[in-house]
Amino acid sequence: MEALIAILAGDGIGPEIMREGVRVLNAVGECGGHRFELREALIGGAAIDAAGDGFPAETRAVVDEADVALLGAVGGPKWSSPDAPVRPEQGLLDLRAAMKVYANLRPVKTHPALYAASPLRPEYLADVDILFVRELTGGIYFGEKRRSADEATDVCTYHRHEIERVVRMAAQFARERRGKVTSIDKANVLETSRLWRRITDELMRTEFPDVQLDTLYVDAAAMHLLSGPAAFDVLVTENMFGDILTDEASMLCGSLGMLPSASLNADRRGLYEPIHGSAPDIAGRDIANPCATILSVAMMLRFSLGLGDEADLVEQAVYAAIEAGHRTGDIASATDQAIGTAAMGDEIVAQYRRLAGRHE
């Protein structure tokens, strides 16, 4: 197949992890005879430096033309002063809005080879297989913002259609999984949550009577994610709760550096990115974990490019490399010899080529 892929490396460790993601993409293309045309564009702080805007018109043009986009990470201390006129993160939010990617899928699946990297005891980690569906283009992230010297306001608004489409997507995924959706809100306090709960109840009752719906307050959900994560199947929630809970849940998998994401719009045309940030403290040192980006490439192959077999192989390649004992520092235990970003990429590409050869 042929695809035009926008490559948005961004800031901090973004370029380093992107390099490994691209190497895996190239290996997939080569082994399967696919033609991936990669087009790089600036986003975040790099784009602010070059064009004064975190999501400049040139980048928008590349993304508009592309079939899908792969993103590294944005942000850094250079652009983070509270009084900065433009922020890198706004570039990412503008990108998500431009692509209309309202559903952010963040799978959290534990793997025995990484139990030791998690701060939780192994008995809590067995059989954890959660799909977070985070609403991505609404809520407090996109509401009106105001700030004076002594007062600041962020408005949180949700519309019926925004709730319906993301809950519908979550329920559709639940049907293909274990048939259970847990909707997370703060309906004991927030009006947006009360609307969310009412619409979710109604939609699930009328359109998905075969899917079990549970509801949880976000504070309780934060606790249950640690005390009984294996009980969850699909979790659906609004933008900010999803941001916070997925960083928490990443620790079940050993590291924030292991969690990929897919952001889908109505056509399932997507934006793919690791859930972690730009980690400026470790940028340029070849120590960042490229797995979340490489696993995001797998999600891209599966959800936007129709290459499910290749996606499976990329995921297998990542875990085969880890099982063979190759780990970046964030997932290494005291006895493991940690390797660098590029070396981890080497191992995963080698595993992919081996698996793809056997597969053919």
Q: Pick the catalytic residue: 186, 272, 330, 352?
A: 186
Please choose which of Mg ion, ligand IPM, none residue 311 contacts, taking the beta carbon within 5 to 8 angstroms, the exact cut-off set by kind. none
Least distance CB 277 / Mg ion (angstroms)? 7
In the complex with ligand IPM, which residue's Cβ is closer, 18 or 275?
275
Contact positions with ligand IPM (CB under 6 A) in 108-137: none
The number of CA neighbours under 13 Å toward the Cβ of 69 is 29
Q: Is 141 an annotated catalytic residue?
A: yes
Q: Which residues pair with 10 in a beta bridge?
A: 73
Instruction: Tell me the C-alpha distance between 13 and 202, whole Å.
Output: 43
Catalytic residue flag (residue 109): no
CA-wise closest residue to 330 among 252, 247, 257: 257
- What tokens appear for 45 in the block? 């702080």
Amino acid at 327: R
**Tokens of residue 242, six digits:** 């999803």
- Number of chain residues interacting with Mg ion (CB under 5 A): 1
Q: Does 92 interact with ligand IPM (rule: CB under 6 A)?
A: yes
CA 142, CA 145: separation in Å to the nearest integer?
8
- Kindly identify the residues of this chain, within the stretch 212-231, that bind ligand IPM according to CB under 6 A: none
Nearer to ligand IPM, 92 or 301 (CB): 92
275 contacts ligand IPM (rule: CB under 6 A)? yes
Integer Cα distance of 106 and 234 in angstroms: 10
Catalytic residue, chosen from 94, 129, 247, 346, is 247
First-last CA distance in the chain: 17
In the bound state with ligand IPM, the residue whose beta carbon lies nearer, of 99 and 203, is 99
Is residue 243 annotated as a catalytic residue, yes or no? yes
What's the token pair of residue 202? 């109604």
* Chain residues 162-181 in contact with ligand IPM, contact rule CB under 6 A: none
Please tell me which residue in 67, 201, 243, 312 is annotated as part of the active site.
243
Residues 52-81 interacting with ligand IPM (rule: CB under 6 A)? 74-75
For residues 184 and 237, the answer to whether their CB atoms sit within 8 Å is: yes
- The residue within the footprint of ligand IPM, chosen from 76, 254, 277, 290 (CB under 6 A), is 277
Question: Between 243 and 346, whose beta carbon lies closer to Mg ion?
Answer: 243
58 binds Mg ion (CB under 5 A): no
* Distance of alpha carbon 352 from alpha carbon 360, whole angstroms: 12
Q: Which is nearer to Mg ion, 246 or 351 (CB)?
A: 246
At which residue do the structure tokens 């703060």 appear?
Answer: 186
Torsion on CA atoms 342, 343, 344, 347, rounded to nearest 10: 120
Nearer to ligand IPM, 11 or 310 (CB): 11
The yes or no reply on residue 248 touching Mg ion (CB under 5 A) is: no
Tokens at 321, concatenated: 């490399």
Tell me, yes or no, if 352 is annotated catalytic: no
Tell me which of 67, 94, 243, 248 binds Mg ion, using CB under 5 A: 243
Q: Quick one: which of 318, 315, 338 has its CA closest to 328?
A: 338
Q: Minimum CB separation from Mg ion for residue 258, in Å?
A: 14
Binding flag, residue 243, ligand IPM (CB under 6 A) = yes
- CB-nearest residue to ligand IPM: 89
Q: How far apart are CA 110 and CA 127, in angstroms?
A: 7
Torsion, CA 167, CA 170, CA 174, CA 180, rounded to 10:
-50
Residues in contact with Mg ion by the rule CB under 5 A = 243
Which residues of this protein are in contact with ligand IPM, per CB under 6 A?
74-75, 89, 92, 243, 275, 277
Which are the catalytic amino acids?
141, 186, 219, 243, 247
